[in-house]
Amino acid sequence: MRDRGFAVGEALLAVAIALAVGALFVLIADDSPATAYEALWTSSVGSTNALAQSMTTAIPIIVVGLGMGLAFRVGLFNLGGEGQMILGALTTAVVGHALASLPGAITFVLAVVSGCLAGAAWAVLPALWEVFLRVPLVVTTLLLNYVGALLATYLAAYPLRDESGGSTLAQTAEIPSALQLPIIVPNTPLHAGLFAAVLAPLGVLWLLQRTSLGYAMRMTGLNRDFAETGGVPMKRTIVTTMALSGALCGLAGALLVMGQTYRYLDDSIVSPQTAWSGLAASMLAGFHPLFTFVSGFFLAALQTGGSGLQLATNVPLQLVNVIQAVIIAMVAVRLWLGRRVLRR
């Protein structure tokens, strides 16, 4: 099955080349590639706990990758997934703590919805700038990442800071236990957010394939001028797409807070590069929702296995970043060549 020039074989080729480059770096470090990749495998999926850790890491990567990939499918270069995810996480933490006196189910829904709305609002802002002011979306979404991160740092460090624990970190108060996603595999960190990561790709696929909005989005992604000539309301489609994209990114932040950190921790999203790993997963999947689940888990497993790789060999865990960077480069070249062929 091909989708926007994507083929499973091409993705596997990109991964194979990236692993070969990684093996070369291992040899340069005077170690054995077989030993290195065995350690990577064992630390990422070689045991129940390792597999659960990889799946836990994959949850926000998959969801934010779906959000950013949805915009890319429509030809909208939403590079603001990080900022949208940060504000979604912060809003979920604040709303969840503030409404702790309400019944648990109501607070849960309001916390998740508020996180999605925060991400959507942060994504709609650059969409409106592009629609009405012709400001390039790729520039505004990228720059708003820094604005969102700095805004969240200020809020978590000063007006919303948790003073009860005496921590020096910029963080909000902990959300009530009723909002904390339950662990689904005992003695592991794997939580119920996994169900969201499984259902979200199916929901996005249904939206694209079974709704009139999805048809308008697909036509816009294929040829914006043709779609507009055919009667697609371009401005509304762009704004709606960005709202949905931002909402998914905000949901990723909400799942991170409710399933792992239980509060907003400053730099908890920026440092692990969760949003950019999500974009890499989406690119590797050719922006296909179902394949994004697979590629998101693969990249998460690389991150999880990096620590074990460093302990077992002389190779630093940054090798994982090298492998991921090569994959992105290979996919980017493939997309560029595909567009050249289409133009011809």
pLDDT per residue as tens digits for the range 222-262: 888 889 888 999 999 999 999 999 999 999 999 999 999 99
DSSP state at residue 179: G
The helix/strand/coil state of 240 is helix
Please give the pLDDT value at position 6. Answer: 47
pLDDT for residue 202: 97
341: pLDDT strictly greater than 70: no
When pLDDT is averaged across residues 7-26 and rounded to a whole number, the result is: 87
> Is the pTM of the predicted complex or chain greater than 0.85?
yes
Q: Is a pLDDT exceeding 70 seen at residue 177? A: yes
User: Does residue 321 register a pLDDT over 90?
Assistant: no
Average pLDDT in the chain: 92
Q: What is the pLDDT of residue 2?
A: 44
Spatial distance between the Cα atoms of 297 and 61, rounded to a whole number of angstroms: 8
**More confident: 36 or 192:** 192
> 91 pLDDT exceeds 90?
yes
Please say if the pLDDT value at position 54 is more than 50. yes
| 186-195: average pLDDT | 97
The pLDDT of residue 314 is: 80
pLDDT at site 5 = 45
Distance of CA 167 to the CA centre of its chain: 28
Q: Which of 2-6, 23-27, 121-125, 260-264 has the lowest mean pLDDT?
A: 2-6
Q: Residue 32 pLDDT more than 80?
A: yes
DSSP structure class, residue 265: B
Closest to 341 measured CA to CA, from 11, 1, 4: 4
- Is 340 exposed, middle or buried (CB count within 10 Å of its CB: 0-12, 13-18, 19+)? exposed
Who's near 129: CB < 8 A, 6+ residues apart?
A: 135, 137, 140
At 309 the pLDDT is 85
Residue 1, pLDDT above cutoff 60: no
pLDDT score of 308: 82
| Res 3: pLDDT | 46
CA distances for 314 relative to 37, 209, 264, angstroms: 12, 48, 35
- pLDDT of 4 over the 50 cut: no
Stretch 187-195: mean pLDDT: 97
Taking 60 as the threshold, does the pLDDT of residue 344 lie above it?
no
- Domains in the chain: ranges and CATH: 8-343 (1.10.3470)
| pLDDT score recorded for residue 317 | 81
pLDDT band per the 50, 70, 90 thresholds, residue 167 = confident
